[in-house]
Amino acid sequence: MDPLRSKIIPVTSILAGVVVLWYVFAVILNAPFQRDLDQRANETPGTVEFIGKTLSQPKPTLPAPHQVAVNFFENTFLRSITSNRSLVYNAWVTLSSTLLGFAFGTALGIVIAVGIVHVTTLDRSLMPWIIASQTIPILAVAPMIIVVLAAVGITGLIPKALISTYLSFFPVAVGMVKGLRSPELMHLDLMHTYNASASQTFWKLRVPASVPFLFTSMKVAVAASLVGAIVGELPTGAVAGIGAKLLSGAYYSQTIDIWSALVAGSIVAALLVMVVGIAGRLADRAMGGRPA
Amino acid sequence: MSGQSPAVVSASKLGLTFQTNDGPVQALSNVDLTIGKGEFVSFIGPSGCGKTTLLRVIADLEKPTSGTISVNGISPEQAREKRAYGYVFQAAALFPWRTIERNVALPLEVIGLSQAEQAERIKRTLELVNLSGFEKKFPWQLSGGMQQRASIARALAFDADLLLMDEPFGALDEIVRDHLNEQLLDLWDRTNKTICFVTHSIPEAVYLSTRIVVMSPRPGRVTDIIESTLPRKRPLDIRETPEFLAIAARVRDGLRAGHSYDD
C-alpha cells in the first residue's frame, strides 16, 4: 500500500481532530477568566468577539494551538541558538544529557543481561532488584542523586545523565535477557554438536539473535532517557533545558511557554525514537532481514 | 567384525529413562546395535519409539542411563569433542542472519580453519549438494528443499565420516523428497560416509538403506534389523521391483509386530 493512504491520511485526520478539540477546550477553559475580565471592564462583547478574546489571552489556562505555534516558532527559529530563551538551545542541553544517559543505560543494560543469562546466581538475585528499582518513583530519587553527587563534587551533565541511565537501563536489560535467550533449542544443539565453546555460542548465536530485541528495547529506553533528563532538571534548579523551561513557565504562569517547551520535548522524543528505529532497520537489512 | 575394522557405532544394552513430571519415561531400552563403516542405516518406527533419542545419544545430545555405547571406539562425548560426525536436524536450522556460504562456514569458524581453507570447503560442499551459485543468498530466499540441502552441506563441511540425519526430509513434499533421496544416495556413494538416518517413511527407509532398524514404542526398543538385498546403485524406479516391495513388506510387518494397536 502507498504510504499516503496507509499512514499519512489516518495520522493527519487524528491530528486535525485533536486540534479541533483543543480549540473547543481552550474556549471552554479560558471563558470564566475572560468573563471575569469583561465584567470588571464593563464590556459586553458579542459571541465571536468573546471567543476571539479567549483564544488570545497572554496567560491562558489552556493556550490555543496557534498561540503555542507562534511561541514555538519565535523561540525556535527567530532567536539566536545561543540565547537561553531559544528552544533549540534548551533542547540541546536536555538532549546532550539524554544521549549520555542513554549510552550509559544501554551499556549497563547489556552488561546486566549478559550477566543474568550466563550466571545462575545473578539470574536469581539480580532480577527482583532490577524490577524493584523501577517501582521507585523517579521524582523521589532524582533530587537525592543530584544532592549526593553534588556533595562529592560531581555537578552538571553527569548527575542528570545518571537519572536517564536509571530509567533506560531497565528496558534494555529486560529486552536483552529475552534476546540472548531467544535462540531455538535446535540452534543451541547445533553449536553443541560442533563442540563450540560458550564464548563462540555467545558471539555467533546469542548476540546476533538478540539484535532485534536490542533495538526494540532501545526505542523504549531512549524515550525513557529523555523523561529522565527532563525530570533531572526539575529539582536541580537547572537554568537551561526543557525541564528548566517547564519549571520557570510554571513559576511565572507562562502557560504558553510551558506548552511550547512540551512541544519541543515531544519533537525531540519523536526524533530520538525515529533515529533508533532507522538504525534498527539498517541493522536488520545488513543481517539479511526479509524486506517487509 | 570387531577384529579388523572397529565399528563406527556400537551399542550394548543401551537404555535411557527420562524423568518427567508424570514419572519416568523409558525412551530406550536394551538396544544392541553395531553399525559398520560405510553403512547406510535407517531407523524407522512410530513416534515415541526412541529413534530420534537414539540418534541424539550417538551425537552426545542425550546421555544414556544404562548400558554402553561407543562411537569410533570412543565415548560419544569424546567423539563429539573430536567432531566425529555431522548432524542434520528435522528443520534446516540455518542462521537467518547468515548467507548460505556463511552458514556453511559456521562449523569451520568454530573449529578455526583459515579463510582459504574455509572458502575451499564451502565451494566443495555446496557443489556436492548442487547449491553452487546460491552462496550469497539468505536462507529465506531459498525453497525448503534448498534450505535443507544447505544444512546438509553445513553438516558435510566438517569432513566427518559419520553423518547423523534426523528426519531431514520430513517437512518436504513428496516430489522434493524423492529428488533429495536420490541426491543423498549419490552423495553417500561418492563419499563413502557412514549415514544414520531417522525416518517414519517406509519407502524412504527401504530406498536409502543398506540396513533398516525397526523400532517400537513403550518402551523404545529395536524389534527387527533388516539387511537390504538391493544393489548399491538404485534408480528411483527400483521402488516398483518385487525385491523392493518384499523388503518394504517385511518392514511393515516388523512395525506391526512391535506396535500394540490397543491404544
The predicted-structure confidence for A7-19, as pLDDT tens digits, reads as follows: 888 889 999 999 9
Question: How far is A126 from B215, CA to CA, in rounded Å?
Answer: 47
Q: What is the residue-averaged pLDDT of chain A?
A: 90
What average pLDDT does range B144-172 have in this prediction? 90
Looking at residue A127, what is its pLDDT? Answer: 85
Judging contacts by C-beta atoms under 8 Å, the chain A residues touching residue B106 are 194, 204
What does the pLDDT look like over A250-275, one tens digit per residue?
888 889 999 999 999 999 999 999 99
For an interface test with A, which of B110, B136, B158, B196 has the most A Cβ atoms less than 10 Å from its Cβ? B110
What average pLDDT does range A132-141 have in this prediction? 86
Q: Do A194 and B111 touch (CB under 8 A)?
A: yes
The shortest CB-CB distance from A186 to any of B86, B89, B98 is to B89
What does the pLDDT look like over A68-87, one tens digit per residue?
999 999 988 888 888 888 89
Q: Do A184 and B93 touch (CB under 8 A)?
A: yes
Looking at residue B3, what is its pLDDT? Answer: 44
What average pLDDT does range A161-181 have in this prediction? 94
What does the pLDDT look like over A114-128, one tens digit per residue?
999 999 888 888 888
Judging contacts by C-beta atoms under 8 Å, the chain A residues touching residue B139 are 288
What are the structural domain ranges in chain A?
Answer: 3-62, 87-286
A192 touches chain B (CB under 8 A): yes
Closest Cα of chain A to B260: distance in Å?
32
Q: Do A204 and B109 touch (CB under 8 A)?
A: yes
What are the structural domain ranges in chain B?
Answer: 1-84+163-250, 93-159
Task: Please identify among residues 28-67 of chain B the ones whose CB lies closer than 8 Å to any CB of chain A.
Answer: 59-61
The shortest CB-CB distance from B138 to any of A193, A195, A288 is to A288
Percent of chain A having pLDDT more than 90?
A: 57
What average pLDDT does range B106-120 have in this prediction? 93
pTM of the model: 0.84
* pLDDT grade for A1, boundaries at 50, 70 and 90: low
Task: Please identify among residues 200-219 of chain A the ones whose CB lies closer than 8 Å to any CB of chain B.
Answer: 200, 204-205, 208-209, 211
Q: What ipTM does this complex have? A: 0.89
Looking at residue A136, what is its pLDDT? Answer: 86
Percent of chain B having pLDDT more than 70?
A: 95
CATH code of domain A87-286: 1.10.3720.10
User: Cell digits for B184?
Assistant: 543423498
Nearest-Cα residue of chain A relative to residue B151: A190
The class (CATH top level) of B1-84+163-250 is alpha beta
Judging contacts by C-beta atoms under 8 Å, the chain B residues touching residue A205 are 95
What does the pLDDT look like over B119-145, one tens digit per residue?
999 999 998 888 999 999 999 999 988
